[in-house]
Amino acid sequence: MNEGLRTHSGGRIDRSQPLRFSFDGRSYTGFAGDTLASALLANGVHLLGRSFKYHRPRGLLGAGVEEPNALVTVRRDAARITPNLRATQVELYEGLDACSQNRWPSLAFDLGAVNDLLAPFIPAGFYYKTFMWPRSAWHRLYEPRIRASAGLGRSPTLADPDHYAPRHAHCDVLVVGAGPAGLAAAQAAATAGARVVLCDEQNEPGGSLLADDPRHAPLVDGQPGPSWQAGMLASLAAHPRVTVLARATAYAFFPHNLLGINQRLTDHLARPRKDTPRERQWLVRAREVVLATGAIERPLVFPGNDRPGVMLAGAARTLLNRYGVLPGTRAVLVTADDSAYEAAIELQRAGVFVAAIADTRAISDPPPGVAGANATQLWMHAAQRAGIPVLTHATVTGTTGRRRVNSVTLARHSGLAGSSVTHPCDLVLMSGGFTPSVHLYSQSRSKLTWSESQQAFLPGAPAERVRCAGACRGVADLAAAASDGAAAGAAAAQAALDPARIGVQPRAPATPPPPVLPPHANHAAHAATPQAGGFIGALPRAGTARGRAFVDWQNDVTVKDLALAMREGFRSIEHIKRYTTTGMATDQGKTSNLNALAVVARAQGRAIPEVGFTTFRMPYTPVSFGSFAGPARGALFDPVRTTPMHDWAAAQGAVFEDVGLWKRARYFPLDGEDMHAAVARECKAVRAGCGLFDASTLGKIEVVGRDAVEFMNRLYVNNWSSLAAGRCRYGILLRDDGYVYDDGVVARMAPDVFHVTTTTGGAPRVLALMEDYLQTEWPQLSVWLTSTTEQWAVIAVQGPKAREVLAPLVDMDLGAAVLPHMSAVTGSICGVPMRLFRVSFTGELGFEVNVPADYGPAVLQAIHASGQPHGITAYGTETMHVLRAEKGYVIVGQDTDGTVTPDDAGLSWAIGKNKPDFVGKRSLSRAALVAPHRRQLVGLRTRDPAVVLEEGAQVMERAGARPPTRPLGHVTSSYHSAVLGHPIALALVAGGRDRMGKTLYVAGARGDVEVEVTGTVFYDPTGARLNG
Residues that bind other proteins (CB under 8 A): 163, 165-170, 195, 265, 273, 275-277, 283, 285, 631-632, 635-636, 638-644, 661-662, 702, 704-706, 782-784, 786-792, 807-814, 828, 830-832, 852-859, 862
Task: Give the shortest CB-783-to-other proteins separation in angstroms.
Answer: 8
Task: Give the shortest CB-171-to-other proteins separation in angstroms.
Answer: 9
Calpha distance 686→883 (Å, rounded): 9
Task: Give the shortest CB-568-to-other proteins separation in angstroms.
Answer: 49
Q: Among residues 613, 632, 317, which one has the least CA distance to residue 450?
A: 613
Calpha distance 1028→801 (Å, rounded): 10
- Alpha carbon 743 to its chain centroid, in Å, reads 36
Task: Give the shortest CB-813-to-other proteins separation in angstroms.
Answer: 6
Calpha distance 596→231 (Å, rounded): 41
Which string of DSSP letters, residue by residue, matches 623-647?
--HHHHHTT-SGGGSS--B--TTHH
Comparing CB distances to other proteins, the nearer of 170 and 922 is 170
Q: Are 148 and 616 in contact (CB under 8 A)?
A: no
Angle among Cα 90, 92, 94 to the nearest 5 degrees reads 140
Amino acid type, 747: A
Local structure of residue 621 (DSSP, 8 states): S
Distance of CA 733 to CAs 705, 779, 908, Å?
20, 20, 12
Comparing CB distances to other proteins, the nearer of 388 and 769 is 769
Report helix angle 573-580 to 559-567, nearest 10: 120
Calpha distance 467→288 (Å, rounded): 8
Task: Give the shortest CB-811-to-other proteins separation in angstroms.
Answer: 4
Task: Give the shortest CB-280-to-other proteins separation in angstroms.
Answer: 8
Task: Give the shortest CB-810-to-other proteins separation in angstroms.
Answer: 7
Task: Give the shortest CB-796-to-other proteins separation in angstroms.
Answer: 19
Other beta carbons within 10 Å of 169: 16
**Residues written for the chain:** 1028
Q: Where are the alpha helices (DSSP H) in 571-696?
A: 573-580, 593-604, 608-611, 625-629, 646-651, 675-688
Calpha distance 611→594 (Å, rounded): 11
Calpha distance 866→804 (Å, rounded): 9
Task: Give the shortest CB-128-to-other proteins separation in angstroms.
Answer: 42
Task: Give the shortest CB-152-to-other proteins separation in angstroms.
Answer: 30
Calpha distance 896→934 (Å, rounded): 13
What is the rounded end-to-end Cα distance, in angstroms, of the chain? Answer: 94
Comparing CB distances to other proteins, the nearer of 415 and 634 is 634
Calpha distance 50→56 (Å, rounded): 5
Q: Are 46 and 58 in contact (CB under 8 A)?
A: no
Comparing CB distances to other proteins, the nearer of 49 and 277 is 277
Q: Among residues 67, 253, 87, 237, which one has the least CA distance to residue 174?
A: 253
Distance of CA 716 to CAs 740, 743, 751, 896, Å?
10, 9, 17, 17
Comparing CB distances to other proteins, the nearer of 641 and 982 is 641
Task: Give the shortest CB-31-to-other proteins separation in angstroms.
Answer: 25
Task: Give the shortest CB-496-to-other proteins separation in angstroms.
Answer: 13
